[in-house]
Amino acid sequence: MALSPLLALAAGVALTIAVWLVQVCTKTHPPSKSTTATTTTTTTTTTATNNTNISRPPSIQTIFHALTSPLRQIPGPLSSRLTNLPLKQAVTSGRRIFHIDALHKAYGPIVRISPTEVAVGGDVAAFRQIHGVQSKFAKDLWYEKLTNFPRLSVFTMRDARQHAARRRLFARAFGKGFLRERWEGAVREKCEVAVGKIREEGLEKGVADLMKWWTFMATDVVGVLGFGESFGMLEAGRRTEYIRVLEAALVGNGVGAELPWVRAIGARVPVRALREAFNSSEYILAYGTKAVENARTGGRDSNLMATIMAEAEKGGSRVDEMDVRTESTSLIFAGSGTTANTLTFLSYAVLSQPALQQALEQELAMLHEGFSDADLEQLPLLNAIINETLRLYCAVPGSLPRVAPPGGVTLGGYFIPEGTTVSTQAYTLHRDENLWDNAQEFDPYRWLPGREISPGAKATFCAFGAGATSCLGINLAWMELRFGTAMLFRECRGLRLADSMTPEKMELENYFVITPKGKALEVVLKGE
């Protein structure tokens, strides 16, 4: 049985009953259809809140707290003052992002989404307060709950000094110059193989699945860079056992961070899908030993972990074997499905607009053989298409939560007491009609010279996060996106969507990262 139905069975029924009880007790209902988010695609997501205990229907004490809480002035449905049950129901059904977006449309840019959590939408000043480089907002406890690993990674570290120290060790390894010097050849080679496999499958079967090959490509790239050896998925044409379990664990991590009791139950249920999702940390981390071994035997820059270990030694920092295993495994989590899914949505968006596809193919035709990432960086339309894909289909469109600093803070005219979880989500910000013209339309031309993007839109563009904790892998991601896109539309001119592809299959589905609902993008080569 698939993981999502099992989660719905384990948690959805209980939450639905609980939400019904809350609605009976409070006589409140969700926003009407007129306030529900309406877009050209449907997105579901799993993301963050610090209040992970499932609330009971409101008691006298709960009602008293709701009436006296400093958050009582913040707009939002009455149910959000009393319980987090509607929010948790959205989590278990994979629709948290829609739930919050609908609340923003109904109540404005500052909205209360649970007794202890506030969501911030298109308030540019508030966004800067939360995510600015000098921000005093710390990461929420949700980050530490995201994995069951015995050590924290640079992504899950909450302490600002600890995070900054670890991040400095990554600076050289993920710098644009170093990546181009040391790893561009490996990235280019994997993209070439992927496009070759797409052509081969298309010619042999009549239809090729882009999502499959992008996934194999991105995972093999991260394997080479992070572990010092490829997972061999491009050559084998299938997922390895390790990657299959890793993908299940990624879903489990997103749900488990929100609902620890689901993780605790799922880890003990004798169902393979649930055990892999919630109880596979030891197996996953064990593979990280390869990163350690290859780093020790291959020299300073044999993989990114070797570079990081060398930087630690040079700076007098201590990074032991478990740290390397944790970071290398986290790199697979962060760098495989994210890039692959972004390339999938980019391919679909371009193939859905024949005029845009033709313009891109013409731009790419001007490239010389043996083009580099630096050459691709100079192509206006290519980079505009990538930016627009990141706007509408960024890999992690949901909330990455923060905690209000000691003494509290005022956001959008509302006082937020210390300890309150405060979150922004790219899904809402990137589709805000007050920030973006034709916000729901895939229009890469908005990024070209001569078109103006508002300062507010630029300030809140957060496809790779924002501030001091933004994504370390941004340069690697851009390199893969540029090479993958360029090679596909240069080598497969005239590519088109297969008749089997429908808009419903490309509706967004998200458990921490987004994927198409149909889990495939089938295309046909020109002349087939």
Strand partners, 209: 522
Q: Is 471 part of any known ligand binding site?
A: yes
CB 256 within 8 A of CB 263: yes
Sheet holding 496-497, edge to edge: 208-209, 522-524, 496-497
CB 495 within 8 A of CB 526: yes
CB 246 within 8 A of CB 324: no
CB 476 within 8 A of CB 174: yes
Contacts of 281 (CB under 8 A, 6+ apart): 147, 148, 149, 249
Taking the C-alpha atoms of residue 407 and residue 216, their distance in angstroms, rounded to an integer, is 48
| Among 87, 92, 105, CA closest to 39 | 105
Strands 117-120 and 421-424: parallel
CA torsion through residues 98, 104, 106, 111, sign: positive
Taking the C-alpha atoms of residue 140 and residue 9, their distance in angstroms, rounded to an integer, is 28
The helix (H) or strand (E) run that includes residue 369 is: none
**CA–CA distances in Å: residue 458 to residues 127, 387, 391, 397, 468:** 12, 12, 11, 16, 17
Taking the C-alpha atoms of residue 513 and residue 47, their distance in angstroms, rounded to an integer, is 9
CB 364 within 8 A of CB 319: no
Contacts of 390 (CB under 8 A, 6+ apart): 342, 463, 464
Instruction: Please give the torsion angle defined by the CA atoms of residues 11, 17, 22 and 27, in that order, rounded to the nearest 10 degrees.
Output: 140
Instruction: Kindly state the DSSP code that residue 378 receives in the 8-state scheme.
Output: T
Q: List, as residue ranges, the binding site for heme.
A: 471
Known binding residues are: 471
